[in-house]
Each structure stands twice: as structure tokens, then as C-alpha cells.
Amino acid sequence: MAGSIINSNTVIGDFTIINTKASIDHDCVMSKFSSLAPNVTTGGNVTIGEYSALSISATIKHGVSIGRHTVIGAGALLMKNCGDNLIMYGVPAKEIKNVE
Ligand SMILES: CC(C)(COP(=O)(O)OP(=O)(O)OC[C@H]1O[C@@H](n2cnc3c(N)ncnc32)[C@H](O)[C@@H]1OP(=O)(O)O)[C@@H](O)C(=O)NCCC(=O)NCCS
């Protein structure tokens, strides 16, 4: 969408959305059906698993991996890798719920 940025060497899977003003940096992987809400920012070398959703204004530190079917909540700052089927939010983001 308008104002979004995709940096070098990043791979964008099918059926994804990079919403308004979202930025995904270099060498990232956005797996199929994952999404970036408006104003999400990722550092480089970030991996986003299938079906995972990064909510509005979430920030992901460089080098972090996110599992499948995981939601990173609005305004979260994710500093560490996280697994599948989780709701994570806060600054820094913590596991709030496992929704398996
Ligand atoms: C993470 C999320 C899915 C959680 O939703 P939920 O489980 O329905 O949570 P609730 O709305 O029931 O909130 C429960 C509590 O957690 C708090 N909370 C929820 N999400 C939060 C977040 N991202 N950061 C901090 N606190 C949060 C609420 O304020 C509420 O606190 P309270 O009990 O003191 O009132 C949701 O908050 C979110 O971030 N949605 C994304 C919206 C978005 O990005 N839309 C994109 C538009 S294109």
C-alpha cells in the first residue's frame, strides 16, 4: 500500500499485505498469508511465518524470527524470537496467550 518500503533482498510470499507506511528492511522473509498493518517497522533479517499478523505500529528488532499463526499486537516492540500460535504484545513484547 501507499508509502510502504521493501528493502533489498527481502522475499515477499504470496497472499501477503504490506499496509500503508509499513517498512520491511533488508534480507527479510515474509511467508505466505502474513501481514504488516500500517506503520509496522522491521529491522533487517527478520522472518515472519505463515499466517502471522503484525499489528499497527509494531516494531520488530533486526534478526528476529516470528513463528506461524502468531499475532504481534499493536504498538509492540518485539526483541526476541517467538514461536507459533502466540499473541505477543507490550514493550518489550511478552507472550500474552497461546492460541493453539
Ligand atoms: C493483540 C490484539 C489482537 C489483542 O486483542 P484482544 O485479545 O481482543 O485484547 P483486548 O482488546 O480484549 O484487550 C485486553 C487487554 O489487553 C490490553 N491490550 C490489548 N492489546 C494490547 C496491545 N497491543 N498493547 C498493550 N495492551 C494491549 C487492552 O488494553 C486490555 O487491557 P484492559 O484489560 O486493562 O482493558 C489487539 O489488541 C491488537 O493489537 N489488534 C491489532 C489491530 C490492528 O493492527 N489492526 C490493523 C488495522 S489495518
How far CA 61 is from CA of 43, 70, 82, 91, in Å, comes to: 5, 16, 12, 12
Ligand 1 within 6 A of CB of 36? no
**pLDDT > 70: percent of the chain:** 100
16-57 pLDDT, tens digit each: 999 999 999 999 999 999 999 999 999 999 999 999 999 999
DSSP state, residue 26: T
Q: How far is the CA of 46 from the centre of ligand 1 (A)?
A: 23
Give how far the C-alpha of residue 54 lies from the chain's centroid of Cα atoms, to the nearest Å.
4
To the nearest 10°, the Cα dihedral for 77, 27, 4, 95?
Answer: -20
Residue 88 confidence (pLDDT) = 98
The CATH number corresponding to 5-98 among 3.30.930.10, 2.20.25.90, 3.40.50.720, 2.160.10.10 equals 2.160.10.10
